[in-house]
Structure 1
Amino acid sequence: MAHRPDTLEHAPLGRDSAYPEQYDAGLLYPIPRAANRAPLGIDDDKLPFVGEDEWHAFEVSWLNGRGKPIVAVARFRLPANSPNLIESKSWKLYLNSLNQTRFASREDVQRTLLRDLAAAAGGSVSVELLGVDDSELVPQRLPGECLDDLDIDVSDYTPSAAHLAVGEVIVEETLYSHLLKSNCPVTGQPDWGSVLIRYKGPKIDREGLLRYLIGYRQHQDFHEHCVEHIFTDLMQLAKPEELLVLARYVRRGGLDISPWRATPGLTPPSPLRLARQ
C-alpha cells in the first residue's frame, strides 16, 4: 500500500479519473479519522463509542480462470476504531480494477479484498461476497417511530445542538427520519440518507431533534463523521444510558455507506437495507 498524505489534496474524489484496466491495490486512498474527530473532542485512543462503517458495493466483477466474468455484491465492514476511513471514489476505482483480472476462485477474490482493505484501513475488516439475488439484499423498513410527519418550522440548515432539548422522564425508544442530507466535503454533491436513533435516557424533544437532523442539510462532511457528530451531540446533551446512531445513506457511484456508532453493548438491526439504497 502506497503512503498517502493526511489530506484530501491528492484524493481522486472530484477529479477526472481513468478507469483502471489492471488490478491495483494502490488506488485505495486512506484518510485518517483523527483530524475530523478532534473538533468534536473525540480522542482516537479513547473512543466514546463502538461501531462500524458498513459498505455495500454493487459494481463488483472479476474473471474466473477461464476468462468468464463473475458478478457479485460485496459487503464490507470497517470498525470505527480503525485509524483510517477509505475515500469512496478511490474504493470504486479499486473495485473496478478487478474487472479484467483473473482469479482462481471466489475465495481468492475475498482474500485479496481483505488484505488490501485492511492495509488501507490500518486494521481488521470483514468482507462478504453476496449473489445479486441474495435475500439479504431485499429492502426493509427501519424499526421505531418516524419523525417526518411532525409539522415544524425550519430556518436553520447547519448542525446546531441548540435545537436539542430533553425532559425529566426516562424513556427507551427508537426514532428515525428519512430527511437526513449532508454534502460531500470535496465535491459538494448531496448525500441523501436516513438516520435511526435508539436510546435509553431522558426523553428527547422530538421537534427539536428533527430540526437538529435537518440542520445537516448544508453541512459538508463524510458520512462517518456526520454520524459521530450526531452521536457526540446527543451524548453531551442527554447523557443517555444507552445510545445508538445509525445512518443508511443512499447509493452513489455503486456504493452505499451505513455507519453506526453506539455505547458498548448496543448493536444495530442487521442485515438492514432500505429501498433507497
Structure 2
Amino acid sequence: MHPAAEHSPLGKSSEYIATYTPSLLFPIARAAKWAELGLTAQTLPYKGVDFWNCYELSWLLPSGKPVVAIGEFCIPAESPNIIESKSFKLYLNSLNQTAFADRQQVQATLEKDLSAAAGMPVGVRIRSLADIEGEGVASLPGTCVDDLDVSISSYDRPQPELLRCDASRVVEESLHSHLLKSNCPVTSQPDWGSVVVQYRGAVLDHASFLEYIVSFRQHSDFHEQCVERIFLDLQCLLKPEHLTVYARYVRRGGLDINPYRSTEMLDVDNRRLARQ
C-alpha cells in the first residue's frame, strides 16, 4: 500500500457532504511510487497527463435548478501529487447542492481546488451531454493482441522478463489489449482497462506483450503507476526512438482515469471507449 493511502477516505465509510467542501480532496505524493521505479521528479523519462472524466458532475443555478454535465480534468504527469480517487468523488459530490452563478464559476472553482491538490495547474473542461454524444465511441489504434493463442499462468506481479524482442529489426507500430487488469492497492477491488503501446524501435514480440500485460492481473497499484511501469519496462527492452503508453480505465463511481506517458509531446484523444 502507498504509505499515504491508509490515511485517505478510500476503503472507509464516508459521509455524503452535498455542499461545497474543497478540504475533501486528498493529495498523495507521487515521489514514493517514483522511487519504487528508480525515478525522481528530476529524472522522469516521459511527458504525459492523467485524464480524469467525471460523468456525475452537478450543481445548482442561482434559481435552485440543478445542472448536470461531464467534467474533463487534465493533471500533468509530473505534478507532485495524484488526487486519491474517492476523495475526488466526494469533493465533486459536494457541489451537488451548491449554487454557482454560471458554468464559468464552476470551472474556475474546480481549476483552483484541483490545482492546489495536485501541486501544479490542472486543466478543466465542463462539457454538455450533447458534446459527448456527438463524439461517439472511439476505437483503439493498431493491432489488438488479445486473440493470440498463448498459455498463461503468472498473474501476481508484473513480469518484464516475459517480454521478448528482435533487436535486429526496427519497426514502427501500435499495439493494444483490452485485457489489462490490476487491483486497487487499498481496497483490493479490481480496476479494468485497455492499454495502448505506440513505438519505433526493436520489434516487440506480440505474444510476449500479451503475457506481460496479463501478469498485472493480481498486481496491486494505482492506475498511474501501472502505466509508468509498462512504459519503463518497454523502454528498457526496446530502446525505442519514441514510445507512448496509455491506458483507458473503466469508470468507478462516475470517474474514469486515463494515464498517458510518452517520450513525445502528446495530442491526446480523450474520447471514451465502448467499456467507458
User: What corresponds to 2:271 in structure 1?
Assistant: 272
**Is 254-263 or 37-46 further displaced after alignment?**
37-46
Contact 2:51 2:270 in 1 (8 A): no
Which whole-Å CA distance do the structure 2 matches of 1:58 and 1:243 have between them?
A: 30
Change (3 A) 1:137 1:56: farther
**Is 89-98 or 138-147 further displaced after alignment?**
138-147
Residue 160 (1) aligns with residue 147 (2): no
Structure 1 residue 46: Cα displacement? 2.1
User: What corresponds to 1:258 in structure 2?
Assistant: 258
User: What corresponds to 2:247 in structure 1?
Assistant: 247
Superposition map of 1:54-133 within 5 A: 54-133=51-130
Which whole-Å CA distance do the structure 2 matches of 1:100 and 1:137 have between them?
A: 29
Contact 2:56 2:254 in 1 (8 A): yes
Structure 1 residue 268: Cα displacement? 5.2
Structure 1 residue 6: Cα displacement? 6.3
Which whole-Å CA distance do the structure 2 matches of 1:238 and 1:41 have between them?
A: 18
CA RMSD of aligned residues (A): 1.3
Which whole-Å CA distance do the structure 2 matches of 1:212 and 1:44 have between them?
A: 27
Which whole-Å CA distance do the structure 2 matches of 1:52 and 1:81 have between them?
A: 8
Which whole-Å CA distance do the structure 2 matches of 1:40 and 1:137 have between them?
A: 37
Superposition map of 1:1-277 within 5 A: 7-135=4-132, 138-157=136-155, 158-167=157-166, 168-265=168-265, 267=266, 269-277=268-276
Which whole-Å CA distance do the structure 2 matches of 1:6 and 1:166 have between them?
A: 36
Unaligned runs of 5+ in 2: none
Contact 1:246 1:268 in 2 (8 A): no
Which whole-Å CA distance do the structure 1 matches of 2:135 and 2:69 have between them?
A: 12
Aligned-residue sequence identity (percent) comes to 54
The CA deviation string for residues 60-112 of structure 1, in whole angstroms up to 9 with x for no partner, is 00001111101100000000010000000000000000000000010000000
Which whole-Å CA distance do the structure 1 matches of 2:115 and 2:251 have between them?
A: 23
Contact 1:92 1:253 in 2 (8 A): yes
Give the letter aligned to residue 90 of structure 1.
Answer: S
The residue matched to 1:9 in structure 2 has which SS? Answer: helix
Structure 1 residue 137: Cα displacement? 5.0
The residue matched to 2:198 in structure 1 has which SS? Answer: strand
The residue matched to 2:207 in structure 1 has which SS? Answer: helix
Contact 1:147 1:177 in 2 (8 A): yes
Which whole-Å CA distance do the structure 2 matches of 1:127 and 1:56 have between them?
A: 10
Give the letter aligned to residue 35 of structure 2.
Answer: A
Structure 1 residue 140: Cα displacement? 1.2
Unaligned runs of 5+ in 1: none
Structure 1 residue 269: Cα displacement? 4.6
Change (3 A) 1:268 1:30: same
Which whole-Å CA distance do the structure 2 matches of 1:47 and 1:116 have between them?
A: 25
Structure 1 residue 273: Cα displacement? 1.4
Give the letter aligned to residue 181 of structure 1.
Answer: K
Which whole-Å CA distance do the structure 2 matches of 1:27 and 1:226 have between them?
A: 25
Give the letter aligned to residue 102 of structure 2.
Answer: S
Contact 1:183 1:190 in 2 (8 A): yes
Contact 1:6 1:31 in 2 (8 A): no
Which whole-Å CA distance do the structure 1 matches of 2:275 and 2:70 have between them?
A: 16
Alignment size in residue pairs: 272
The residue matched to 1:202 in structure 2 has which SS? Answer: strand
Please give the TM-score of this superposition, normalised by the length of structure 2: 0.96
